[in-house]
Amino acid sequence: MKENLKKLTGYYKPYMGVFLLDMFFAFLASIISLVIPLAVRYITSEVLNMGTDEALSRIIFIGAVLAVLALVQFASNYYITYVGHVMGARIEYDMRAEIFAHYQKLSFSFYDDQKVGKLMSRITSDLFDISELLHHGPENIAISLIKIVGAFIVLSRISGYLTVAAFILLPFMFIYAFVLNKKMKRAFKENRVKIAEINSQIEDNLSGIRVVKSFANEEIEKEKFKTGNDGFLKAKRNSYLFMGFFHSGMTAFTMFINVTVIMTGGILMTKGLVKMADFVAFLLYINIFTDPIRTLIDFTEQFQNGYSGYERFLEILAIEPDIQDRPGAQPLKDVKGDIVFDDVSFKYNDTAHRVLKHISLNIPAGSYVALVGSSGGGKTTLCSLIPRFYEVTKGSISIDGKDIRDVTLKSLRNNIGIVQQDVYLFAGTVYDNIRYGKPDATREEVTEAAKLANAHDFIMGLPNGYDTDIGQRGIKLSGGQKQRLSIARVFLKNPPILIFDEATSALDNESENIVKESLERLAAGRTTLVIAHRLSTIRNAERILVLTENGIEESGTHDELMAKNGVYAQLYKWTK
């Protein structure tokens, strides 16, 4: 915990000037609040014994000084509330940027095991609580300590007897707080987990709302959500149980302190050991003394919220990307497109079963190679190894004679274009989505890419042409239109190596023919790997590889493989 807190305080470094001023004004506001009871004591004990004129002038003077102090306190609280909150927001901004950048580094294997809703909660609600802790935490502690110490000094000067009476219950109060704090910490951490699960469930439901409605399964989804919501309520109830004991216990202790002081003060006044003016001032200071205790109570809850969120934040940052640039990795330049698999094997982390076994393959630059085979044979996995979405378990893959692990990831992926069956388009305009392939592209380049992908005509038919908003994931477009935009995106990228992952299998015949024409135009002169479900679409491939659990079972042209009457021939007859 000590090391974590040290890291957490490191986020103040860029804003140290603002932070120190925030602490100064917190200190100033606290000192001013300690002055008022002293003024009351002075007026009741000294001023009332003066002559009328002198007393009046002295009261006016004290009032003027207190008014000035009130204005200073106003300015101090304004700085704490406004500038201090902005500092907290800036720290939240920095932390959100840090975790988002870390998300970008993590590989497919990480996202295979994660739910988007849970990852979202780490970057939204968790960070908000952390920033609130970083802003309010230090100032609350500073204000509380100043008031407690200041009140103690003044109280001890007023009456040692009353001071002992006021502080005698403190050790018991702190023991009570310590025990409840530990229980609250566990409960708040469980709350974070349950909130993340609910966020994940909501994200999953809303993303698949069309499937839900198509099966009329709204009630089933409500029931699934109810299960998660019940778990959240149970966790919240548990945390509020401890919080209830904590708050009510601390309130009771505060009340007992007041009762003890009142009873002790009453007894001491009857015996002439305490003056009335001192007793009144003491009671006012007791309220100043108990107020920071309430602040510390609130801080305890805030700390549990913020620190449990910070622990979850650190959990993500502690995950090292399993795929990253090696030391000394060089950019991949002037790519021709020769791809060589040398005894490549691969298995996912969660299984001992190898998806790919001893694959050795040579794909010359500019060749058009198709991969076929039954589902689960490893076709997509094999292609995902080339841009290093996953790391080979054994063997190596090279491009133009360079091991892909010895080149930078950015340069490797910049030279590979991928068109998938499940097209992902971002919320925004047609223009934005095509330009994603080359962020610095001109309007003319975007238009030319769309024309090459047979997309320009349908784009011009949209309400605002290239500036038409296509909705979340391109929901306002048909499957063929979305696929052509994804092809235009790759045209704009203009990579020497292409991977088509069943890019036409989900389309109707008319859309398939248009997209197929676009794909053939895109593949011209490039090293192209095509994963095909409909074998009729790859009859003209220069080379067809049949991938099974045993590796590359067959290799050859369509006619050669049909003549063998082996695995490919059976697949072709079955899918025809």
**What is the end-to-end Cα distance of the chain in Å, rounded?**
64
Give strand pairing partners of 419. Answer: 500
pLDDT score at 151? 77
Is the per-residue pLDDT at 368 higher than 70? Answer: yes
Q: How many CB atoms lie within 10 A of CB 100?
A: 10
Residue pair 445/415 in contact by the 8 Å Cβ criterion: no
Tokens 């080359």 locate to: 438
Token reading at 108: 């497919």
Which phi and psi (to 5°) does residue 366 adopt? 80, 0
Give strand pairing partners of 307. Answer: none
pLDDT score at 549? 78
Residue pair 137/23 in contact by the 8 Å Cβ criterion: no
Is the per-residue pLDDT at 449 higher than 80? Answer: yes
Token reading at 254: 């505060």
Is the per-residue pLDDT at 134 higher than 90? Answer: no
pLDDT category, 120, cuts 50, 70, 90?
confident
Give dist(CA 503, CA 422) in Å, integer. 8
pTM over 0.85: no
Is the per-residue pLDDT at 396 higher than 90? Answer: yes
Q: Please list the helix, strand and coil fractions of the chain in percent, rounded to the nearest 5, in that order.
A: 65, 10, 20
Residue pair 281/41 in contact by the 8 Å Cβ criterion: yes
The more confident residue out of 428 and 213 is 428
pLDDT score at 313? 86
Mean pLDDT, residues 60-75: 88
Is the per-residue pLDDT at 505 higher than 70? Answer: no
Average pLDDT over the chain, rounded to whole?
82
Token reading at 556: 């050859």
pLDDT score at 443? 92
The more confident residue out of 203 and 225 is 225
Give dist(CA 451, CA 456) in Å, integer. 5
pLDDT digits (tens, 9 = 90+) for 268-296: 888 888 777 777 777 777 777 777 777 77
pLDDT category, 404, cuts 50, 70, 90?
very high
What letter represents residue 409's amino acid?
Answer: L
Lowest mean pLDDT, pick from 198-202, 306-310, 492-496, 544-548: 198-202
List, in order of start, the domains of the chain with CATH numbers: 2-317 (1.20.1560.10), 339-575 (3.40.50.300)
Give dist(CA 235, CA 197) in Å, integer. 12
Is the per-residue pLDDT at 397 higher than 90? Answer: yes
pLDDT score at 180? 81
Q: How many CB atoms lie within 10 A of CB 51?
A: 8
Is the per-residue pLDDT at 225 higher than 60? Answer: yes
pLDDT score at 295? 76
pLDDT category, 11, cuts 50, 70, 90?
confident
Residue pair 29/76 in contact by the 8 Å Cβ criterion: yes
Is the per-residue pLDDT at 352 higher than 60? Answer: no
pLDDT digits (tens, 9 = 90+) for 232-244: 788 888 888 888 8
Give dist(CA 530, CA 552) in Å, integer. 15
pLDDT category, 511, cuts 50, 70, 90?
low
Residue pair 378/370 in contact by the 8 Å Cβ criterion: no
pLDDT score at 507? 60
Residue pair 162/282 in contact by the 8 Å Cβ criterion: yes
Non-local CB neighbours of 304 within 8 Å, separated by 6+ positions:
181, 184, 185, 188
